[in-house]
Amino acid sequence: MPSLAPVDLLIVGGGINGVGIARDAAGRGLSVLLVERGDFAGATSSASSKLIHGGLRYLEFGEFRLVREALIEREVLMRMAPHLIHPTEFVLPHDRSLRPRWMLRLGLVLYDHLGGRKILPASRRIDPRRDALGAPLRPDVAAAFVYSDCQTDDARLVIANARDAARRGARLLRDTEFVSAHRAGAFWRAELRTSAGVRSEVEARGLVNAGGPWAMEIARRAGAAHGRATLRLVKGSHIVVPKLYDGAQAYMLQNDDRRIVFVLPFELDFTLIGTTEVPFEGDPAEVACTDEEAAYLCGAVSRWFARAVSPSAIRWRYAGVRPLYEDHAKSASAVTRDYVLLRDGEPPAAPMLSVLGGKITTFRRLAEHALERLELPGTGEPWTVAAKLPGGLPAGGSMETAAAALRVAHPWLDPVIADQLIRHYGSEAAAVLGDATRLADLGQAFGAGLTAREVDWLRREEWAQSVDDILWRRTKLGLRLTSAERELLREYLCRAAN
Ligand SMILES: Cc1cc2nc3c(=O)[nH]c(=O)nc-3n(C[C@H](O)[C@H](O)[C@H](O)COP(=O)(O)OP(=O)(O)OC[C@H]3O[C@@H](n4cnc5c(N)ncnc54)[C@H](O)[C@@H]3O)c2cc1C
């Protein structure tokens, strides 16, 4: 079996936690190999509610450590990738049948103060009948609060981290499965297999298991003592419908079952609604949003909004499985959302660290904690708190000024494409256009502003291979392309691969 070059750290899993750890470790001078058996962000990390948030409702379950860390991270991440992380106002309507108003007010005061907020505004109370933010709500909703959190593009956040890790010397292999590993003294010897069936071996001083819902299976494949610790798998589904209201605000709706459902502005012309919490057994790769869940989500919105939402309006639906640490809580809502790092192997044995649970929001701090726990000799100091991700706009730069500058530099560029490129690539938008000096230089147009030039960038710089990689993870243009246009893209990708 061929051997790959030995590394300090082998990371299994190309979701947000795996790539976050890879980036941090590479920046600290460790040699890193990350293997992902499918596409980066192909599982949970592209199926989230896409919030960078403290998690207001977790206060109810006493998760103060998690909420504080996540609240602090919001502003760190806003500075790190302003093109991918946007502040959003959340409207929280209230009526007497639900949690008492004093409880919401208390929660919001805590939320305002727990995380040392500097950029985001404090919460406030509004009269939704008089305030424009209340316009989409039923006219009899007489009270609401407004607080701030952030929205992100989860899959693009993963790719930005993966690219930064690669720039700093990490090697990232997609379509490569971790098969097994055993200790050989102070090293791990791992076996890998590509999706084409090619096997190889690699030696590593440390092993990180960031396999999300598959973390326990990976731990078992490495014979880790904690391979018996359990994960609680909880499915969450989302639906996307044509835009339900004007404005950039989001809504946090309390449901009669005491759960909450978010209504979020999405991809300019759409509204994202989620999520559900359904105990899950079976293969996480097969997870899907059922009609029952879709109806539940429509019902939750229709309870509060003036205009009812019907399942017939759904344009896209997706589901993911939360890989939560099993704390034996009674309900799926109450299981801890905090992460747990389980270590196997004390020196001189090579260490293995399994990541259980966690949020997109906390990936950067999780990576710092993981490297601390691994204690690999030669690990440099933490550095990610003030470092930008690829595409991160310069301090003080806004998306609008960046889009305007791109249009000045490329006056022939359609303003819609210019805005789209800035939203996807931030300060790297000009690099995506490369030496193009006229529209025709961008090559074949696939619809919705997607051109061969952008597709080539995604293949070259972002590991994209398939139509789904491009239309549902690197971008969300799947919402806009017709089936004929998707076929054109598929044909282009086939030609490019040969
Ligand atoms: C419905 C839902 C809503 C959520 N909303 C939010 C939110 O709004 N904000 C927030 O902060 N968090 C949210 N989360 C939580 C967040 O999405 C997850 O905690 C996070 O994405 C987990 O990332 P991960 O890298 O650990 O796992 P994953 O993204 O699942 O990555 C694990 C990877 O490991 C790979 N893998 C598995 N086995 C192998 C193997 N043998 N070899 C190689 N690769 C392997 C898989 O293919 C997968 O890509 C939400 C989660 C869900 C499900």
Please give the share of the chain, as a percent, with pLDDT higher than 90: 86
- Ligand 1 centre to CA of 75 (Å) is 22
Residue 325's DSSP bridge partners are 231
Choice between 95 and 132, residue whose per-residue pLDDT is larger: 132
- Ligand 1 centre to CA of 210 (Å) is 9
d(CA 253, CA 271): 14
- Ligand 1 centre to CA of 46 (Å) is 8
pLDDT in tens, 168-184: 999 999 999 999 999 99
The per-residue pLDDT for 329 is 80
d(CA 121, CA 97): 28
Mean pLDDT for 57-71 is: 89
DSSP assigned state of 142: -
Tokens 């108003």 locate to 101
The per-residue pLDDT for 336 is 82
The per-residue pLDDT for 496 is 95
pLDDT in tens, 206-244: 999 999 999 999 999 999 988 777 899 999 999 999 999
The per-residue pLDDT for 213 is 97
Type and span of the H or E element at 70: helix 64-80
Mean pLDDT for 338-343 is: 93
* Residue whose CA is at the smallest distance from ligand 1 atom 50: 48
**Which one-letter amino acid corresponds to residue 209?**
N
Three-state secondary-structure class, residue 138: coil
The per-residue pLDDT for 326 is 85
The per-residue pLDDT for 339 is 92
The minimum-distance atom of ligand 1 relative to the CA of 262 is 8
* Residue whose CA is at the smallest distance from ligand 1 atom 25: 15
pLDDT in tens, 432-490: 999 999 999 999 999 999 999 999 999 999 999 999 999 999 999 999 999 999 999 99
**Does the pLDDT of residue 337 top 90, yes or no?**
no
**Which one-letter amino acid corresponds to residue 291?**
D
Type and span of the H or E element at 294: helix 291-304
Three-state secondary-structure class, residue 169: coil
Three-state secondary-structure class, residue 115: coil
Mean pLDDT for 400-413 is: 93
**Does the pLDDT of residue 85 top 90, yes or no?**
yes
Structure tokens at 386: 């003030």
Q: What residues contact residue 350 under an 8 Å CB cut-off, 6+ apart?
A: 183, 185, 186, 187, 188, 204, 205, 206, 207
The per-residue pLDDT for 348 is 87
- With the C-alpha atoms ordered 201, 468, 249, 258, is the resulting torsion angle positive or negative? negative
Tokens 């109370």 locate to 125
d(CA 439, CA 37): 37
Residue 85's DSSP bridge partners are 152
The minimum-distance atom of ligand 1 relative to the CA of 39 is 49
Ligand 1 pocket: which residues have CB below 6 Å? 12-18, 35-38, 42-45, 47-51, 177-178, 210-214, 218, 236, 275, 320-322, 355, 358-361
d(CA 112, CA 120): 9
**pTM (two decimals):** 0.97
- Ligand 1 centre to CA of 52 (Å) is 14
Closest to 346 measured CA to CA, from 163, 491, 206: 206
The per-residue pLDDT for 88 is 97
Q: Ligand 1: which of 11, 12, 16, 44 to mutate, judged by most atoms within 8 Å of the beta carbon?
A: 44
Type and span of the H or E element at 220: helix 215-221
The minimum-distance atom of ligand 1 relative to the CA of 275 is 1
d(CA 305, CA 244): 9
The per-residue pLDDT for 394 is 80
Mean pLDDT for 89-116 is: 91
The minimum-distance atom of ligand 1 relative to the CA of 360 is 11
d(CA 246, CA 121): 21
The minimum-distance atom of ligand 1 relative to the CA of 274 is 1
Torsion of CA 142, 147, 148, 154, to 10 degrees: -70
Structure tokens at 491: 């044909």
Backbone region of residue 471 per phi and psi (left: phi > 0; alpha: psi in -120 to 50; beta: other values):
alpha
